[in-house]
């Protein structure tokens, strides 16, 4: 298994539009976001790196639920790995106690728009006042808790952002 680093997206980049099927039924779109801080994380069901960080990520999502919107997106081609099918995404979300939407990017257009290349890969945005969501943290899951504290306290991340790393997204 090859470990892949994310490509750095410039901070301040506006959030990309998305409207995708949610494992809980219906669709979820960026217009449904309600908090001033948003974490978009690209994951998949089979990646061992995702499995490693999932307990930390789901716990952080529970702790921050009142102040931060979390959204997970799977863009992997299920023809490559059956574990990544929409039906298996439902099971994965249930088994991991997701308290946030888990969306299926079947066309992979959303991953391409965001510039996501690996799983897990985080994009954390902040909205100040009436402005659009702007990218404020694009780094490792292990540093997300500190990044969220910084964003809530000062609106900026105070430390060097190192790229996410994990399995490559399985493209069609």
| Predicted confidence band of residue 7 (pLDDT cuts 50, 70, 90) | confident
Domain count of the chain?
Answer: 1
Span 74-126, pLDDT tens digits:
999 999 999 999 999 999 999 999 999 999 999 999 999 999 999 999 999 99
Structure tokens at 58: 């789901």
* Predicted confidence (pLDDT) at residue 4 exceeds the cutoff of 60: no
CA dihedral sign, ordered 112, 35, 157, 101: negative
| Predicted confidence band of residue 3 (pLDDT cuts 50, 70, 90) | low
* pLDDT score for 18: 98
Question: Residue 71 is part of which domain span?
Answer: 4-168
CB atoms within 10 A of CB 60: 18
Supply the pTM of this predicted model: 0.96
CA dihedral sign, ordered 48, 141, 102, 18: negative
CATH number of the domain where residue 158 is located = 3.40.30.10
Tell me the C-alpha distance between 15 and 4, whole Å.
Answer: 23
């Amino acid at each position: 298994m090859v470990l892949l680093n994310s490509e750095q997206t410039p901070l301040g980049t506006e959030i990309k539009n998305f409207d995708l099927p949610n494992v809980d039924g219906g669709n979820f779109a960026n217009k449904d976001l309600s908090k001033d801080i948003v974490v978009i994380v690209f994951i998949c069901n089979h990646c061992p790196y995702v499995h490693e960080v999932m307990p930390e990520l789901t716990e952080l999502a529970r702790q921050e639920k009142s102040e931060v919107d979390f959204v997970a997106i799977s863009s992997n081609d299920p023809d490559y790995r059956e574990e990544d099918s929409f039906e298996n995404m439902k099971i994965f979300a249930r088994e991991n106690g997701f308290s946030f939407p888990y969306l299926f990017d079947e066309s992979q257009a959303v991953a391409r728009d965001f510039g996501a290349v690996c799983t897990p890969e985080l994009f954390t945005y902040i909205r100040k006042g009436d402005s659009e969501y702007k990218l404020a943290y694009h780094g490792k899951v292990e540093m997300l808790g500190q990044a969220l504290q910084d964003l809530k306290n000062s609106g900026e991340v105070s430390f060097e952002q190192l790229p996410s790393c994990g399995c490559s997204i399985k493209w069609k």
